[in-house]
Amino acid sequence: MDGKRVLPGRCRSVLAAVFLLAARYTTMIYFDNAATSWPKPPEVTQAMVRFLDVVGANPGRSGHRLSVEASRIVYAAREAVSELFNAPDPLRVVFTHNVTEALNLALRGLLRSGDHIITSSIEHNSVMRPLRALEREGVGVTVVQCSPEGFLDPSGIAAAIRPDTVMIALNHASNVMGTLLPVAEVGRIARQRGLLFLVDVAQTAGAYPVDVQAASIDLLGFTGHKALYGPTGTGGLIIGERVDQTRLQPLKRGGTGSHSEMEEQPGFLPDIYESGTPNTVGLAGLEAGIHWVLNKGVGAIRNHEITLTRSLIAGLSEIPGITVYGGLDAARQTSTVSFNVTGIEPSEVGLRLDEEHSIMCRVGLHCAPAAHRTIGTFPTGTVRFGLGAFNTRQEIDAALAAVRQLARETQ
């Protein structure tokens, strides 16, 4: 080999990981937590490695000790989800690959031609696309307009209710500008009118208190890879007691490990909605991520992010040529902040922030064109900073300096 030492593939992988971590703790600023949180707590990695190294078996499919341990890990994840959201029955936690699958299960599983559903004008495409498809199949869809800041008046929801309305579906917070929607108030309206209430907590789970009982939530879709600090490929749907399980049809059918003598899908929770081998290694990581959040305290994480968000909004608002979207009130939103630089396309801003300042963010429409139409940024979109529990005030200051430099060039 000409006297050169060649490192084995595993060593090269370890070195690459070391370099990435070194970059994270020196110059890189990661502001894309609204898409996927990073870094993950070390407990998450440890739980996933332990599963692969020590367990590795298929849960619920065999009776040997490794399969039993895998089943225990899956159930522990259900219990962690139940604890976080104050859901009374872990067996009513159905795991999916992400919140999109969970929302599709709720929408496509329950709505039929002739039904009517109400939603808001700042929903993610994980709600809007299934609803538009269902609309073509005879489901009535009413989109209640939010304010240009992204706020929703609950009275608009109440006014949209019709005799054929069966469900209200809302995100808890916008993934574009972080605006919080009044889910508790809407939940009371839904309960008073006998309607099902579906809430997408992709942006709030782990970063803002969510209580399915206090907010009268019947169906809660969550994802594991954002503020729950778990891995991608994890998520789920909590199914409340008011949901008619005979009406909620599965998206898929197949092996569950239970009642294998039958060629019909089992009719009990959670098996009826969990066909196929689960992402057990991912659920091990999810359970660890949720417990990390619980140990830190959702309230403490929320307070940290409010402090950072308030500083970010104030700093951006002081820069000439910068437009910040939303209510500009850190207490009424998550730690997601969208803005634009006058005279520079969002795509160019994002590229330059990455290449010149090592700031990772997201640009464009963020899979939520309805929200951008609401706030007036369609079709170009915005630059989005998504903060997380690991971000610092020093990173906020560095990012503000970078944006200030870019904006100065347009003056």
CB contact at 8 A, 90 and 332: no
Burial of 242 (0-12, 13-18, 19+ CB in 10 A): middle
What gap in Å lies between CA 344 and CA 362, rounded to an integer? 15
Task: Please give the model's pTM, rounded to 2 decimal places.
Answer: 0.93
> Is 146 a known active-site residue?
no
What gap in Å lies between CA 217 and CA 87, rounded to an integer? 10
Tens of pLDDT along the chain (411 residues) come to 344 444 455 555 655 555 455 554 458 999 999 999 999 999 999 999 999 999 999 998 889 999 999 999 999 999 999 999 999 999 999 999 999 999 999 999 999 999 999 999 999 999 999 999 999 999 999 999 999 999 999 999 999 999 999 999 999 999 999 999 999 999 999 999 999 999 999 999 999 999 999 999 999 999 999 999 999 999 999 999 999 999 999 999 999 988 898 999 999 999 999 999 999 999 999 999 999 999 999 999 999 999 999 999 999 999 999 999 999 999 999 999 999 999 999 999 999 999 999 999 999 999 999 999 999 999 999 999 999 999 999 999 999 999 999 999 887
pLDDT in the model for residue 11: 56
pLDDT in the model for residue 16: 57
What number of other Cβ atoms are within 10 A of residue 63's Cβ? 7
Tell me where in the chain the CATH 3.40.640.10 domain(s) lie. Answer: 46-295
Residue 206 backbone phi and psi in degrees, to 5: 95, -20
pLDDT in the model for residue 3: 44
CB contact at 8 A, 112 and 140: no
Tell me where in the chain the CATH 3.90.1150.10 domain(s) lie. Answer: 26-40+297-408
What gap in Å lies between CA 349 and CA 342, rounded to an integer? 10
pLDDT in the model for residue 84: 98
Burial of 7 (0-12, 13-18, 19+ CB in 10 A): exposed
CB contact at 8 A, 94 and 105: yes
What gap in Å lies between CA 226 and CA 111, rounded to an integer? 28
The alpha carbon torsion through 251, 256, 258, 261 (nearest 10 deg) reads: 90
Two tokens at 140? 């009535």
| Domain 26-40+297-408 bears CATH identifier 3.90.1150.10 | yes
Catalytic residue among 11, 146, 361, 367: 367
Q: Can you list the alpha helix ranges (DSSP code H) found in 256-380?
A: 280-296, 298-317, 346-357, 369-375
Going across the sheet that includes 219-223, the strands are 93-96, 235-239, 219-223, 196-200, 165-171, 116-120, 140-144
DSSP state of 260: T
C-alpha count within 13 angstroms, C-beta hemisphere, residue 168: 31
CATH number given to 46-295: 3.40.640.10
What gap in Å lies between CA 149 and CA 107, rounded to an integer? 27
What gap in Å lies between CA 84 and CA 94, rounded to an integer? 15
Two tokens at 136? 């073509």
